[in-house]
Chain A
């Protein structure tokens, strides 16, 4: 479990995720997709979630192996998730590609958010 409270934490998190992906034999492209998705979500935690944490775990479905990352914060929450998932790249002010991008780069994506309580995003990348 890693706390995300500063830019350095994001750097550290990327290294840790990369290491795990390598150890578990993910292809280079899959590693990059996972680390990039993680970077997007971690930045969201920092910029909108007022800090939070990431939990990494290995998951299995029969013989299939994967890496699961859970990003949680106790920030303001997202009032309209559907809207937030839309790519607002050019606006710069919104979450931009963060959520939509992370979803596209992952095999599985779940998001729960309660206004005033916080947000939790889970992604899984299967090998």
Chain B
């Protein structure tokens, strides 16, 4: 049974010219973006990969997901993340691995030309391994793009979740947009931090800008209210449109003791009352000429 050890030996034997050919392939392919990657970096990445691949193949294993290939995967991960950040496309990134095939198969043919069966086996094994590694590269690329998007999303969410100090002791949180579980986490964290910072005892959560309130959204709201309570503050939910009131009743959502007000202004007045403040209206001052 031919083992990956054969590939390992071939890789070792033809190290230098294999590397040279492979780099030539990469440079030749329109996929290399000279504007995004220096040739010296490419050289170093290719050299490291070949070394790691050779070591992994030497173990006799051809399981790219196993421990023998850990270093290879690590390398591809770093490379893939780097290329994603630099602006390469997923295909361009995966070509790093796929462009190794041609030069490697050329050498397999040279070494194993006497044994057609062995040549077929090794070529097949190698192509499977490189295919899997190429796909792995694409997956990592996807994943890192997704985490960049996640991070950007999070930052956007934080920006769109401003907690306003309306008055001494009173905070207001105007929610705009949907309230999913990820957003709720951020809302809770932001609001509670602000409560600790300001020592506020009332938080007004305004949902005028929340387009739809279903059971899940209601649950998220209730969680936020509960967490706020545990910090010793009271919540008032404002911006309850008539449709929302209907939805809440139809869904059988139990708002418990949470006070609700139609508008932020109403909620603010109530909050002031609770904190013992009062607003007096005096005659408007005459405009100066």
Contact = CB atoms under 8 A, between A and B. Distances in A.
Direct contact of A and B (CB under 8 A): yes
B143 A63 contact: yes
A64 B185 contact: no
B147 A63 contact: yes
B189 A29 contact: yes
B81 A63 contact: yes
A29 B189 CA distance: 8
A92 interface: no
Interface in A14-30: 29
Interface in A42-65: 62-64
Interface in B139-195: 139-140, 142-144, 147, 185, 189
Contacts of A62: 139-140, 142-143
A102 to B, nearest CB: 18
B185 A29 contact: yes
Contacts of A29: 185, 189
B77 interface: yes
Nearest to B142: A62
B250 to A, nearest CB: 26
B140 A63 contact: yes
Contacts of A64: 143
A102 B237 CA distance: 30
A63 to B, nearest CB: 4
B99 to A, nearest CB: 23
Contacts of A63: 77, 81, 140, 143-144, 147
Interface of A: 29, 62-64
13 contacts: A29-B185, A29-B189, A62-B139, A62-B140, A62-B142, A62-B143, A63-B77, A63-B81, A63-B140, A63-B143, A63-B144, A63-B147, A64-B143
The 6 closest A-B pairs by CB, nearest first: A63-B143, A62-B143, A62-B139, A63-B140, A63-B144, A62-B140
